[in-house]
Amino acid sequence: MKIVTIVGARPQFIKAATVSRIIRAHPEIHEILVHTGQHYDENMSDVFFRELSIPVPDYNLEVGSGSHGEQTGRMLKGIEEVLVSEKPDCTMVYGDTNSTLAGALASVKLHIPVAHVEAGLRSFNRAMPEEINRIVTDRISDMLFAPTQTAIDNLTTEGLAGITCFTGDVMYDSVLFYSEWIQRDPAKYRTAGLPANYLLATIHRAENTDNPENLRNIFTALAKLNKDVVLPIHPRTRKIIQTSFSIPGNVHIIDPVGYLEMLKLTMDATKVLTDSGGLQKEAYFLQKQCITLRTETEWVETLHDNWNIITGSDPQKIEAAVLSDIPSATQQLCFGDGKSAGIILEKLLSL
């Protein structure tokens, strides 16, 4: 069975690392890896392939950055050419980026079945580019791999239950697998020069970076905290703050780090503040309280017992959440059993 896997952005490299490791071990699967080139900086792309031993992509379309239409259009053209030449039995896409949408759309137009990993997530906020990408991708896919019961419920409501199956979350598989690597040699993955106690923060979503008031509010809140904040900065955010912000003295900006360093940064943090989808879950899996700098989350399972607190960019809410007690209740195991990639393999073989 020939599968074309399409990735392009940081979180997709991490998810595909886990699934590719499992599916490539099966003698009947031949995987062709396509990197759209949506992310291209060394520390947004190559570091993940190197650290996580992801096979070198068979194709790199090198589309780079651009407006949504321009970027997605370039991807569509490049992916179509690959699919026409490779003639796979199935295309696999991950998550909710422009690379996901382009992969699914190019494939379905060529009558090649599409499998969507991390299907069924909904924020119900149509201003988010990710929400549009997810809705369209789920609607045109042939097989929907849902990470949570909430995702199943969303897809059922949309009439897609017949092609949906629960797999659990491949990012949970990743955290379990790679945490063991880190535990074997923690010093190797520790970022140098960190303060003794710190809050870990990431900010990159359009709703914060494209809205100067939101970004200013978040930095105002961080400045008031009287605590060290370590912020591995996404290039999108760096470009904006370079021109219009002065960084508070307690905020330590560092370049984006590899996945293993990021897991270690999360393990050693007191709390996490983020607008990332993936980091909200990793905080939860690693038993760190998360403060979500958005007005809603798709990962509603993480909200129980205040393990994840939604604050948006409101400085008062952010401050209250940072000062709140760390929950003592245990996490619920609702993201599968760490064997999601194996379930995905079984389902692919049954296509």
Q: What are the helix (H) ranges across 57-148?
A: 68-86, 98-109, 129-140
Of 107 and 315, which has the nearer Cβ to ligand UD1?
107
The one of ligand UD1, ligand UDP, none whose footprint includes residue 259, by CB under 5 to 8 A per kind, is: ligand UDP
The one of ligand UD1, ligand UDP, none whose footprint includes residue 239, by CB under 5 to 8 A per kind, is: ligand UD1
Tell me the C-alpha distance between 224 and 292, whole Å: 17
Of 51 and 319, which has the nearer Cβ to ligand UDP?
51
Determine the number of helices (DSSP H) and then strands (DSSP E) in the chain: 15, 13
Tell me the C-alpha distance between 134 and 118, whole Å: 9
Task: With beta carbons less than 8 A apart as the criterion, state whether 38 and 63 touch.
Answer: yes
The one of ligand UD1, ligand UDP, none whose footprint includes residue 256, by CB under 5 to 8 A per kind, is: ligand UDP
Task: With beta carbons less than 8 A apart as the criterion, state whether 254 and 231 touch.
Answer: yes
Of 18 and 82, which has the nearer Cβ to ligand UDP?
18
Strand partners, 145: 117, 165
Interface with ligand UD1 by CB under 6 A: which residues? 9-11, 38-41, 44, 65, 96-98, 129-130, 204, 235-236, 239
The two three-digit tokens of residue 181, written as one number: 């690597």
Would you say the C-alpha torsion 52, 276, 41, 75 has a positive or negative sign?
A: positive
CB of 262 to ligand UD1, least distance (A): 12
Q: How far is CA 111 from CA 30, 39, 107, in A?
A: 19, 28, 6
The one of ligand UDP, ligand UD1, none whose footprint includes residue 262, by CB under 5 to 8 A per kind, is: ligand UDP
The two three-digit tokens of residue 40, written as one number: 């291209």
Interface with ligand UDP by CB under 6 A: which residues? 10-11, 14, 202, 204, 232, 256-259, 262, 276-279, 282
Of 38 and 141, which has the nearer Cβ to ligand UD1?
38
Residue type, 106: A
Per the annotation, the verdict on 204 as an active-site residue is yes
CB of 261 to ligand UDP, least distance (A): 7
- The catalytically annotated residue of 30, 68, 111, 204 is 204
Of 40 and 166, which has the nearer Cβ to ligand UD1?
40
CB of 151 to ligand UD1, least distance (A): 17
Give catalytic residue positions: 204
